[in-house]
Amino acid sequence: MANMAQNEDKLVALASIAAELHSVMNVAYGVSLAAKNAKVISAQAGDKGLGFQPITDFIDEISQLAIEGVSTINENALRLSKIAVHEQRSYDAYKRFTSVIKKNEDAAYIKSLNPSMDRVETHMIKSFKEFRNSMKDLFVQLEEMDKHMLSARAIASVSRVVTSNAQEFRAKLDVVADNLDNAAVFIKDKVSDSYEHLDRVKTLTREHA
């Protein structure tokens, strides 16, 4: 019974990761758009925007990384939920088969259930291993995303220094830097929440084992 509730918890925690990251996608798209804008502005600024041009490339790159990273993380969270459901189903069958065998030792054909029992057990162990591996991958992906966002914040503060020479374009370029910084803070926040959910999944998985 405890296992059933834990598995439900696990499924909720996995769904929460997808929910957290949903909003990240829109923000990342926003940054990507801002980066493209900034490119236009720095081109207009000519020499005054010279230092800013490589930065806009970097902002564009990082927003692409965020978009791709979030889709991968989402796919993996979904995969984990699916594996968890499979695992739950094999586990449920395994439990019921076990009770059948225990209560009907005297049944003439009780041994004929053995092949199915073995199959379900193998399937359960396989799902469990698959779950663990995908979970590890997901932790790594979340850590990587966190690092990207740290670099994004660093770039935002560097760009403020660079734009100090951009004169009349400064305000516009600063808006881009602010956008990037806000987006990075927001995404970092969501990533850290997701990390917590995944930690909960990990704890539940350990208890389950």
# residues near another protein by CB under 8 A: 21
User: Is the Cα torsion angle 196, 202, 206, 209 positive or negative in sign?
Assistant: positive
**Nearer CB in complex with another protein: 104/133:** 104
Which residues in 66-77 are b (16+ Cβ under 10 Å) and which e? bbebbeebbebb
Which residue number, 104 or 164, has a Cβ lying nearer to another protein?
104
Closest by Cα among 93, 111, 91 to 101:
111
In whole angstroms, what separates CA 34 from the centre of its chain? 23
User: Is residue 22 involved in binding another protein (CB under 8 A)?
Assistant: no
**CB of 43 or CB of 100, closer to another protein:** 100
* Residue 81 CB partners (closer than 8 Å, separation 6+): 11, 14, 15
Matching residue, tokens 């189903």: 89
Q: Please give the residues from 25 up to 64 whose contact with another protein meets the rule CB under 8 A.
A: none
Is the distance from CB of 27 to CB of 186 less than 8 angstroms? yes
Rule CB under 8 A: is residue 19 a binding residue for another protein? no
The footprint of another protein on residues 84-113 (CB under 8 A) is 89-90, 92-93, 96-97, 99-100, 103-104, 106-110, 112-113
Please, what is the minimum distance in Å from the beta carbon of residue 104 to another protein?
Answer: 4
Which residues are at the interface with another protein (CB under 8 A)? Answer: 89-90, 92-93, 96-97, 99-100, 103-104, 106-110, 112-113, 115-116, 119-120
